[in-house]
């Protein structure tokens, strides 16, 4: 069976759903094709720190009401090292900018609800999705749904289908430049219905390894500890996790930490990854399909939203103004922002984690840089500007 749309979007994660919502509000027809079920997509536990530009884009898409009602506005965060915490005043160093703690699952839920309410088409459970002829002017997708072969013809294809998705995999290897760094550790994360140990995030540099205290709400917490790539989730009981987290915090936080049974526990490897370019004829890559950052800087979802912002405006310009200037510059504009975020995430990871090959001198150099960071107005401003999100080029 064949059907037609203006923009075929592969992937119903937040980037694909957000793109679909923005295009629909501009009167551009689109269909989203997703290989997983809707319940599976909603069940994925991901990041939850939104830059101001991401929050503004959700407002533009008409899905920001619950974020503003339930999200937690943060004007700063804390760096913990040497047994003491030091606050980074985001608002004070950026002219009042802040971030909003609001889980990616909730962003996805809001976008799903808006798409369903508008009656916009989403195909869940699509198997063997593949893009074709994107190097010409007649691209299309093929997939199987409910055991039947399907074909979706479009003017453009947006690959919002993640690191393991079909769209980047369909690009000839010779047309791609891949840049990648795999870090020699992972993050063991735990989700629990406990009150946060602090009303702001705590990033901890400790001789035993990195730790992060985050939250999803005033009653739900998300904590992480750096772990070996050889560790398995079943190696870590809840008690073992809480004990290790306490060891990596300052005495006040360790004493007031409220523990409880885990709702979810997982280990995530860390990598920096960029695929260039991000446009191939009439197919665009967005979000994790094109780039991955370590979660230390909370840039993954925000970079995906940045790509979507640039792409949605380029497509609106194409259909409304009959201009392809935005399309021609899509990859260039995205990558300029991507590489700045990659640099920040790599630097923040290098500053806060224990690396197996740097030894005692590495730890001393980290401590010196942390001391400088919290004592220098210039250095703190650089940190704050990058954390809240750098401005767009236009």
Tokens of 71: 């999200």
Q: How far is CA 206 from CA 100, 147, 211, 370, 380, in A?
A: 26, 53, 8, 12, 20
Give the single-character DSSP code of 355: P
Q: Which residues, 6 or more positions from 128, have their beta carbon under 8 angstroms from its beta carbon?
A: 142, 143, 144
Instruction: Give the residue among 166, 164, 222 at the shortest CA–CA distance from 190.
Output: 222
Q: How far is CA 296 from CA 79, 205, 285, in A?
A: 12, 12, 23
Active-site residue among 143, 203, 224, 330? 203
Q: At what angle do helices 359-375 and 325-352 cross, to 10 degrees?
A: 110
107: Cα separation from own chain's centroid: 12
Burial of 369 (0-12, 13-18, 19+ CB in 10 A): middle
The number of residues making up the chain comes to 394
Q: Is 299 one of the catalytic residues?
A: yes
The SS3 assignment for 63 reads: coil
Active-site residue among 299, 318, 330, 353? 299
Active-site residue among 93, 139, 295, 330? 295
Q: Count CB-CB contacts under 10 A for residue 4.
A: 13
Q: Is 387 one of the catalytic residues?
A: yes
Q: Is 230 one of the catalytic residues?
A: no
Q: Is 74 one of the catalytic residues?
A: yes
Instruction: Give the residue among 301, 294, 35, 37 at the shortest CA–CA distance from 169.
Output: 35
Q: How far is CA 154 from CA 65, 132, 295, 325, in A?
A: 32, 11, 34, 20
Active-site residue among 102, 223, 224, 387? 387
User: Left (φ > 0), alpha (ψ -120 to 50) or beta: where does 367 sit?
Assistant: alpha
Catalytic annotation, residues: 74, 203, 295, 299, 387
């Amino acid at each position: 069976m064949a059907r037609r749309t203006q923009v075929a979007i592969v992937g119903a994660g937040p980037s694909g759903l957000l793109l679909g919502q923005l295009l629909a509000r501009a009167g551009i027809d689109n269909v989203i094709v997703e290989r997983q079920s809707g319940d599976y997509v909603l069940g994925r536990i991901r990041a939850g720190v939104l830059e101001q530009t991401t929050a503004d884009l959700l407002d533009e898409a008409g899905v920001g009401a619950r974020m503003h009602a339930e999200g937690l506005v943060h004007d700063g965060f804390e760096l913990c090292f040497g047994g003491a915490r030091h606050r980074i005043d985001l608002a004070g160093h950026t002219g009042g900018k802040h971030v909003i703690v609001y889980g990616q699952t909730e962003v996805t839920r809001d976008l799903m609800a808006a798409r369903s309410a508008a009656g916009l088409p989403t195909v869940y459970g699509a198997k063997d999705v593949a893009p074709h002829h994107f190097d010409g002017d007649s691209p299309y997708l093929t997939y199987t749904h409910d055991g039947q072969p399907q074909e979706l013809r479009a003017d453009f294809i947006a690959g919002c289908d993640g690191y393991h998705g079909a769209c980047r995999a369909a690009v000839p290897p010779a047309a791609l430049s891949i840049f990648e760094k795999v870090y020699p550790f992972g993050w063991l994360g735990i989700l629990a219905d406990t009150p946060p140990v602090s009303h702001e995030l705590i990033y901890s540099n400790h001789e035993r390894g990195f730790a992060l205290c985050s939250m999803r709400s005033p009653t739900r917490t998300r904590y992480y500890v750096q772990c070996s790539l050889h560790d398995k989730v079943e190696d870590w009981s809840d008690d073992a996790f809480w004990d290790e987290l306490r060891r990596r915090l300052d005495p006040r936080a360790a004493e007031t930490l409220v523990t409880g049974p885990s709702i979810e526990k997982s280990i995530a490897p860390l990598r920096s990854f960029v695929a260039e370019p991000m446009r191939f004829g009439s197919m665009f890559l967005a979000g994790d399909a094109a780039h991955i950052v370590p979660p230390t800087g909370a840039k993954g979802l925000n970079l995906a939203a940045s790509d979507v912002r640039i792409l949605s405006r380029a497509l609106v310009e194409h259909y409304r103004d009959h201009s392809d200037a935005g399309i021609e510059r899509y990859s260039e504009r995205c990558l300029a922002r991507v590489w700045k975020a990659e640099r920040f995430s790599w630097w923040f990871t290098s500053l806060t984690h224990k690396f197996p090959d740097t030894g005692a001198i590495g730890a001393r150099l980290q401590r010196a840089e942390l001391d400088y960071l919290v004592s220098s107005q210039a250095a703190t401003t650089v940190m704050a500007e990058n954390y809240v999100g750098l401005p767009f080029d236009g």
